[in-house]
Structures are given as C-alpha cells and as structure tokens.
Structure 1
Amino acid sequence: MVLAGGGARRLGGGDKPGVRVGGLPLIERVVAAVPDAVRLVVVGPERPGLPRAEFVREDPPGGGPVPALRTGLARVSAPWVALLAADLPFLLSGHLTTLLRAAGPRPGAVLVDDGGREQWLTGVWRTETLARALAAYEGRSLHGLLGPLDPVRLSLAVGDDGRVPWFDCDTFDDVSDARKRIPSVTDKR
C-alpha cells in the first residue's frame, strides 16, 4: 500500500508523488520496490504509469495517513502489507525483504533512521493485526497507532552514497539532494 494523497505543503502544494528523480516519478520508484505484491493499492488520485495499481481515495481526500491507511487496508487480502510513502526515492525491494524477514513472529517491522526515529511509512505489517488496531483506534497519528504494536525497529547501515531507504522528499532541498544521488537529464519538476 502506497500513501500518495498528501498536500505536499512543503513542496508548494504540488504533485509530490509525480516529482521526478532519476528520470522517474517518485511513486514509480516506490512501486518498483514491490514488484511481487499480490495487489498494489495506491491511496491517492489516479495517475498514469502504474497499470497494476488499484487507486482508492480516503475520506476526506487529504485527511491524513490514518484515514488513508483505513481506506487502503480495506482492499488488502494478503497476510502481510507493506505500508509505504510515495516519496521514497531510494527504497528497494531488498529493503522490504529485509523488513519482512526481521518481523518474524512480531506484528511488523519498521525502519528507523540514523537518528533512531521510526519511519512509519517504511514498514511491513501483519494485515490482521493492523486491521484490529485500526478498528480500535480513534486518533490521527501513525505513531499512536503503530507504536503500541511493538514492531521490530530495524536500523540499516548508511552507505557512502547516502541512499538510505527511509529518505523521503518532503522539501525542495530533499528533492535536490535525491537528484544529486540519482541524476537524470530528464528531471525538470
């Protein structure tokens, strides 16, 4: 499940999932990290370039990650779900495989950044556990929902190239940094 319906306020309200890094829209880079997903659920507006995606909208549109997760999870039938942001230019399928293996018998696994902070939109979860937690949750915070589930918190080494899987493109500086690490002559937005 890819959450792609935010307001991108720090990017001037533009189409953050559509921002190009390395010649591809950010959302296409994220989707490439889940090539074997049984179902690809994108919570956000429909867009070209994702022929296998099932698009759904949270109510209200732009209502935040918890309503988006509720809407998207209703479409998931697999026992595990990857919960991902649409703006992760360096996420690879191997990172998700590592998360899934690390989860073992636990409810899920989430990446932590080099500062030790959980990156709630780079994780894998047992679908049933997540559905039960959502049914009982009335808050708006992903931390408030997911933290009590006590997932494995996985830290990955930062390579010399700085391409860490939790890096997200929230600001113009972030986009510029990502483009320096994955250059392309076609990046214009």
Structure 2
Amino acid sequence: MAETPTIGLILAGGLARRMGGGDKALKPLAGRPILAHVIERLRGQCDDLLLNANGDPARLAEFGLPVVADTVPDFAGPLAGVLAGLDWVAEHRPQTEWLLSVAADTPFIPDDLAARLHRARIAAGTPLACAASGGQQHHAIGLWPVSLREDLRQALLAGERRLGRWTQGHGVAVAEWSAESVDPFFNVNTLEDLAEAERLAATI
C-alpha cells in the first residue's frame, strides 16, 4: 500500500476515436484486457480502486470495482474524470486525502508510482504531483488532493479542459522514470500501439 493513504482512480472515460471507438481498455493484451493489467499493477499501491467510465457500467462489472461517471457533461476530458474520483473519495472515504489517477490504456505503470509521487510532492512542497518519462510529463498520471476538488469543479464549469494548465496553476511536482528499455507510461491509442504493447509485454 502507499505510505500515505491513497485511492487509485483508473481513467477510462475517453472515446477511443483512434481505435474506432468503444472501450480500448477492454482490448486484449497478452491474453487479458488492458484494464486488467492496469488494475494488477495499481492494486498493491492503493487502499482502494475505482474506475471512471461513462455509459453503461455493467460492461465493466467483471472487474469488481466501483464505477464513477463524469458529472461534467459532453465528455469534458480527464479533468472531469479526476473530479468524479475526488467526489467519490470525499463521499465514501472521507478520511482519505489523496487520489492517484492513471490512464486505463497504460498497462506497464511502475509498482513504485504512488510512493515516488508522494515523495516528489513532499520534497517540492506542492499540492500536486505527476509522472514523467523520456522528458515528457504525463499529466493524467498523478496525485490529486481532495481539498482541491471544489476549485477543480469551478475551473471545469468555467471551461477549463487542460490538465497541465490547471495543475501548473496550483504547483505540481514531477517524478521522472526512465524510458530506456520500456516506457512505464506507454499508452495504447491505436491498433499499432496495441501491437507494440504485445511485443513489449513479451519482454517484461
């Protein structure tokens, strides 16, 4: 578990346009849905897990996790998913102060993600932290304090959709991972990416 009590949120609310629509997290990778790989890697790092997804939650019932839908309409992006997760934590785990978000299409997330992000934000003295690899920040993979949920809600209602811009406005620490052999934040956006993920999965 994380050194600091933390709830894990898997963001699966996207439209997957580059894969022809549907749930790309349910595409098979090494014989299991991509989402199953994400859950397995995240479960040991968090006190509980939940999914952010829109539409009929029954299609995700096999994973046995709470499913929270966006409360901001018109597929407002990952910030809306984070807000849904923060609202769930505030209602169901009121003693927990932290939410860790990851994307549902990142099957290789590292097993020290939660711990390193917490250490990064403590060292930097910032309320937020996000992951980076290969010199690129991954704003959807990060730590979010429940205390900022109303600020995030107001930003979304005012039209904010960019994760990086909102987090930079509050202060965000960055924890960097090596991408030399396998990028731990490789994400599956296209069928070509899925083929590459199959190749990578065979090497891990």
TM-score normalised by structure 1 residue count? 0.84
Structure 2: gaps (5+ residues) = 1-8
State the number of aligned residues: 179
The residue type equivalent to 2:70 in the other structure is E
* Alpha-carbon contact 1:32-1:92 (below 8 Å) kept: no
Structure 1: gaps (5+ residues) = 185-189
Match of 2:62 among 49, 62, 74: 49
Q: CA deviation at 1:168?
A: 0.7
Cα pair distance change 1:23/1:97, threshold 3 Å: farther
Match of 1:5 in 2: 13
The answer to whether the aligner puts 1:173 opposite 2:189 as a matched pair is no
* Alpha-carbon contact 2:14-2:77 (below 8 Å) kept: yes
Match of 2:48 in 1: 39
Match of 2:176 in 1: 155
Match of 1:73 among 60, 63, 86: 86
- Look up the SS of the partner of 1:89 in the other structure: coil
Match of 2:31 in 1: 23
Distance 1:20 1:96 in 2: 26
* Mean Cα deviation higher: 120-129 or 3-12: 120-129
Q: CA deviation at 1:151?
A: 1.2
Match of 1:100 in 2: 118
1:100-127 Cα offsets, whole Å, 9 max, x none, are: 222214212211231x332112112222
Distance 1:135 1:68 in 2: 11
Q: CA deviation at 1:132?
A: 4.2
- Look up the SS of the partner of 2:112 in the other structure: helix
* Alpha-carbon contact 2:117-2:175 (below 8 Å) kept: yes
* Mean Cα deviation higher: 102-111 or 171-180: 102-111
The residue type equivalent to 2:196 in the other structure is D
The residue type equivalent to 1:30 in the other structure is V
The residue type equivalent to 2:49 in the other structure is L
Identity of aligned residues (%): 25
TM-score normalised by structure 2 residue count? 0.78
1:153-181 Cα offsets, whole Å, 9 max, x none, are: 12112242x2x222111111111111101
- Look up the SS of the partner of 2:88 in the other structure: coil
